[in-house]
Amino acid sequence: MAAHPITLGSHPETKEEITMSIGKFGPYVKHAGKFTSIPKNIDLMSVALEMAIDIVSKGNKGKKEK
């Protein structure tokens, strides 16, 4: 994988940047100051902007339901 973090693009609704990186607890996507883990079954080389938006939206919903 290339140098970290990798900028994937801007979220179409918030216009804020989405980045991907690897941290202490594994790979994650960062958007609007929030970190969402990338599921282990996802190939990091396949993560593009659309997939990152999906990861962020699913991650945020999961946290709100708890």
Residue-by-residue pLDDT tens, the chain, 66 positions: 456 899 999 999 999 999 999 999 999 999 999 999 999 999 999 999 999 999 999 886 654 444
Q: For residue 61, what pLDDT is reported?
A: 64
User: Does the residue 53 lie in any domain?
Assistant: yes
CB atoms within 10 A of CB 36: 19
User: Does the residue 37 lie in any domain?
Assistant: yes
User: Does the residue 52 lie in any domain?
Assistant: yes
State the total domains in the chain.
1
CA distance 24 to 61: 23
User: Does the residue 1 lie in any domain?
Assistant: no
User: Does the residue 10 lie in any domain?
Assistant: yes
Q: For residue 52, what pLDDT is reported?
A: 96
